[in-house]
Structure 1
Amino acid sequence: MNVHHLELFYYVAKFGGITAAVRSMPYGIQQPSVSAQICRLEKELGVTLFIRRPFSLTPEGEILFDRIQPFFTQLPDLADEIRQEGSLHLKLGACPSVLRHHLPGLMLAMKSKKPGLRISLREIQMDEIADHLVKQIADISVGAVIGAFPPPLRMDELLRVPLALLVPDDFPCTTWKQVLSRHKRKDGSLDLPLIAPPVQSVITRRFREGLTAAGLIWETEVEVGNFDVIRDYVKHGFGVGMSVMIPGVQVTGGLRQIPIREFAPVQVVAVYLREPKPVVSWFVNELKGYVRMLIEQTTAGAAAPAKKNVTATRGRGHVAKG
């Protein structure tokens, strides 16, 4: 049976005739069209569903109306329920670093503003973003990317983070320039063991681009897929690790980072459909505000020690002069 034919019959039965149904239906349709499609339904079923004048349902029409009435009657409520679910359900895909370091605090803040908010989290790789968004597996994805996305998707840049090396506290170098002066061979290769993510990862690709542009060669000695594992291997003395300077994330446990500002930074973005659900637009605004706060805190934290050192130097100068 054609569902549209059933819908037309529902309105005819509900309002007591074709003319009344045409006047009361939520969308425009001509009376001859309704009559023709009802006739097709009756022909398909092989029965008469109602008497035209005066209007009354036949026994077969009563059976059909009783079966389809609950479905069509509940459609408006069903639509409202789905809209309500969509307005309070955010399907979020993100890279592991974002999932671990930044989303817990942001989600708690958002839930305090919208108590009914439900967030589904999914770890997502760069090459999966477009497919997940188009198929609505995720509403939005946050992470590091290289390149652009197809027209149905919108990409908002959140921040750019410098590449870095993760090293032990007692590592003798404090700058990338010092690393090169100590560990660069004549052929452009570096003699330090490198611990890095797989070659397809965004950070490794960006790092390799920087090496190539600088005429350097640095082969990965230990390849791991998780930055927590990189940290552990560096801590145990297997080499230096590839890393990024993430705002708001402190490196501890006897390790520190050496920024590589000579290489292009990694772009962190939010990717979502060009016509997003309201909850996605709200999340993007909250996310951008959170990123601004992180950058401001990081900038203030970096400036504070410098100010303290200047004050201390001035104090020592005053004492020496006296």
Structure 2
Amino acid sequence: MTMTLDQLRCFVAVARSGHFTRAADGLGIAQPSLSRQVAALERDVGARLFDRTPGAVTLSAAGETLLPVAVRMLEDRDAAYRRIEELTGLARGRLRIGATPSLCTSLIPDVIERYHDAHPGVDLHITEAGSGTLTESLAQGELDLALVIAERAVRNPALDLIPLLSEELVVVSSADRPALTRRRAVTLSEVAGHALVLCHDGYDLRVALDRAFQDAGLQPHIVVEGAELDAVLRFVARGIGVTVAPVTATLHYPGLRATRLTSPGLTRTIGLARRGGIDPSHAAVAFHSVLRECVVESAEGTTGLTLRIPDGAFGRTGRRSGRPHDRP
């Protein structure tokens, strides 16, 4: 059976008007064309759909059976067109975004607020996890986009990675305890001797810091560990200890001071991961635009941030050469 929507449209028009010529006029086609469509549909279903008498056309038993099905199919087609138009116009839709916990306390809230204000009809789902978990979820189709730490992203040739920002890791202390904040810079060795509040094992930031201490042959003095970054920063603000955190994470917490870390200085690269070789959805393209605006504004107004977005990185196509295993 090869019935088409055009055949069904002609059939429904005749059924509703009770006349071939009036149905053709209503559809804006020639009456012979409409008759051919109905005849082809009758051949496809193997039954006569209309009883034709002089001056009248009525539905046969087969026609009465087909009519509600045909109407529903045409309505479904129209609904599909409407929904696609809504998606392309961003009146509705869904976007699944992943981000690391440290980015959820810094960059992501500004991006989400701006995106939601511009496109309130798009449902947003946020997954908060480490960079490795996020890139694996992205590769499996469970996410549309992921904001990750490039150095911690899982190597996967199916994914593209757009570098966004390089940011310094800084020593964070309470503004009420100025022993560190009066200085312009602090060495990693000096940090190791202070009471430290650190995130849990496996946290991207903790892994980088543990490696730095190990490479320098230092044994840090940890007094509290195991929390997420949000709690760590609140503990630091209370004067429990100091920590090392991305510079962007310190911007949204009152009562904190950031001091540059040296000998060695530590940095990380924030990147946007997405599946390669496919065009992103309209909702994702709009997110790209908002994200770029926020990243550029952050880099222009904050010491310790360096913009890394390559030219043309946010084009419509999803294919580009950079991958999570390519160090930006």
The question of a shared fold, defined as TM-score above 0.5 by the shorter chain, is answered with yes
Q: Cα distance, 1:218 vs. partner?
A: 3.1
**Which residue matches 1:314?**
none
Three-state SS of the structure 2 residue aligned to 1:8 is coil
Give the strand-richer structure, 1 or 2.
2
The structure that has the greater radius of gyration is: 1
Whether 1:284 and 2:284 are equivalent positions in the alignment is no
Paired residue secondary structure (1:199): coil
Deviates further, 266-275 or 231-240:
231-240
Task: Structure 2 unaligned segments of length 5 or more: list them.
Answer: 12-31, 306-328
Q: Does 1:139 align with 2:144?
A: yes
Higher relative contact order at CA 8 Å, sep ≥6: structure 1 or structure 2? 2
Number of equivalences? 271
Are the structure 2 counterparts of residues 160 and 103 from structure 1 closer, same or farther at C-alpha, using a change threshold of 3 Å? Answer: same
The equivalent residue for 2:179 is 171
1:298 corresponds to 2:302: yes
Shift of 1:203: 1.0
Choose which of 261, 264, 269 in structure 2 pairs with 1:262. Answer: 264
Normalized per residue, which structure has more helix? 1
Q: Distance in 2 between matches of 1:151 and 1:53?
A: 64
Structure 1 CA distance, aligned partners of 2:262 and 2:279?
A: 38
User: What is the aligned-residue RMSD (CA, Å)?
Assistant: 4.3
TM-score under structure 1 normalisation? Answer: 0.64
Which residue identity does 1:8 align to in structure 2? M
State percent identity of aligned pairs.
14
Q: CA deviation at 1:122?
A: 1.4
Give the gaps of 5 or more residues in structure 1. 25-30, 43-47, 184-189, 302-322
2:230 paired residue number? 228
CA separation of 1:139 and 1:60: change in aligned 2, threshold 3 A? same
> Which whole-Å CA distance do the structure 1 matches of 2:170 and 2:231 have between them?
16
CA drift at 1:291: 1.4
Q: How does 1:67-146 map to 2 (within 5 A)?
A: 67-85=69-87, 87-88=90-91, 89=93, 91=95, 92-107=97-112, 109-110=114-115, 114=118, 117-118=121-122, 120-125=124-129, 126-130=131-135, 132-133=137-138, 138-145=143-150, 146=152
Deviation at 1:14, TM superposition (A): 4.2
Summarize the Cα distance change of 1:104–1:166 in structure 2 as closer, same or farther, 3 Å threshold: closer
Deviation at 1:73? 3.6
Aligned to 2:196: 194
Contact 2:135 2:153 in 1 (8 A): no
1:54-105 deviation line (CA, Å, top 9, x unaligned): 9996413421332242233431432331441363445233334444444454
The match for 2:323 is none
